[in-house]
Amino acid sequence: MSVSLAESLAAAVDSGMPRARDELARLVALRSVANPAIEPTSECRAAAMLAATLFTEAGVDGVQAVETPDGSLAVVGRSAGPAGALRVVLYSHHDVVPAGDPADWATPPWELTERDGRWYARGSADCKGNLVATLLALRALREVAGGWPVELAVVCEGSEEQSSGGMEALARSRPELVACDAFVLADTGNVERGVPTLTTSLRGTGSVLVTVRTMAGPAHSGTYGGAAPDALQALLAALASLRDETGETTIDGLGHDAVWEGAPFDAARFREDAALLDGVEPLTGAAAIADRVWARPAATVIALDATPISQVTAAVHAEARAVVNLRVPAGADAKAAQDLLVAHLHAHTPYGAQVETKAVSLGQGFRARGDGPAYEAMRRAMRTAFGHDAVTTGQGGSIPLAVALTELVPEAEVLLLGVEEPASRIHGPNESVHPDELRRTALALALFLADLGGLV
Ligand SMILES: [Zn+2]
């Protein structure tokens, strides 16, 4: 990267910040929660229209809002690059999670407000901040280089926070929308402010509903208790066997000793983010938090059916049910892990009880290849933009679109990054973005496109 191009891009990004702030203010003023029970559908439509207008103003060709199977509007567009140029898709989403109770906010959630150098509003970071950083990058590069040296496509989803799969279904039915050599999924962020971060690992998931039956009906605990095979007790014994005394998930045949190789998960941050009560410790044993949340499986009982306390009677349970949610590290096959969970529940339920299991969800994990030319270009771009080497992190939850991309565009490199950082408090009250993070992310994106396009 020539010094002058990097400096010119930095200057163009700096001078574009006032406009970026204005665009962010317009975007966050729209209550684009893709759930008509919470905010009117017109807000999402308006956000899609505004995103389409902004992309068009930034110079993207053929921008349009496309309805996806869940009824949301995805904004897409694509500009042809020079002959033989690499193809890059820049992804963001224009929907947000609900604001919740405005009383929990120090300033109005739908009004971009500066406080202590940060910009507050719902969506200011997740993901309208990323959308604005993308726009800023595109304008800066166009201004400095006279155009984009790559074939440039944008995808801006309208229902990401609903997990309703609209964008994934659209991509599967129209794969040309996501055709690329590099897919930049700008919907994550940095492990701490100023430390450029690539999210390279997402866990897969597979839940199982387990039902345990021991008798034809409940038995009186006075008459039969002590010898009656308690279905709830049997279920609890099976569930207890899913973890050891340190909280490690110990499903027969499923490895649980992997070590996370990327940036650590700060223990104090974990304690604060997970809102642990005084005296309660994270479950780590001899492992690190990052091992437990990104590199190893985790089985969690997320629902349990037994007699509610309001209907208590002196009876031994004849039947009890639970849903066990299993998270599996990227690289492990989620279906195989789910099968092991099912076998474990059958093997560890005592009293000869009848055990019935049903798989209720399944999603594969994602692991970025991380060693291709796009990753190398992004690492160079981040180093220049942030003055700091990029680190890698994981995410315990899944991003189904990232997994779908590995099937739809298997040759493409998928890069997960963004303006978020711990202080952004995404999804909670008082969400915010730091303008420096927005500026540096935009510069990194512009440098990345320049680098991929050979403008060095
Ligand atoms: Zn998001």
| Spatial separation of the C-alpha atoms in residues 53 and 95, rounded to whole Å | 16
- Residue 228: its pLDDT value, please? 98
Options 95, 291, 421, 431, the catalytic residue: 95
pTM of the predicted structure, to 2 decimals:
0.87
Instruction: Name which of 53, 35, 52, 55 is nearest 44 in CA terms.
Output: 35
Which ranges of 146-291 would DSSP assign to H, the alpha helix?
A: 166-173, 231-240, 267-273, 289-290
Q: Over pLDDT 90: what percentage of the chain?
A: 91
Q: How far is the CA of 96 from the centre of ligand 1 (A)?
A: 7
* Mode of pairing for the β-strands spanning 87-93 and 151-157: parallel
- Residue 331: its pLDDT value, please? 86
Q: Is 266 a catalytic residue?
A: no
Q: How far is the CA of 455 from the centre of ligand 1 (A)?
A: 31
Options 23, 39, 160, 431, the catalytic residue: 160
Query: pLDDT tens-digit profile of 1-47?
Result: 556 999 999 999 999 999 999 999 999 999 999 999 999 999 999 99
Packing angle between helix 435-452 and helix 128-145, nearest 10 degrees?
50
Regions of the chain with pLDDT less than 70:
1-3
- Residue 121: its pLDDT value, please? 98
Q: How far is the CA of 426 from the centre of ligand 1 (A)?
A: 8
Query: Can you say how many angstroms the Cα of residue 358 is from the centroid of all Cα atoms in its chain?
Result: 26
Helix (H, G, I), strand (E, B) or coil at 363: strand
Helix (H, G, I), strand (E, B) or coil at 431: coil
Q: Is 160 a catalytic residue?
A: yes
User: Which residues have beta carbons under 5 A from ligand 1 (an ion)?
Assistant: 126-127, 187
Q: How far is the CA of 50 from the centre of ligand 1 (A)?
A: 18
Instruction: Give 291's DSSP letter.
Output: I
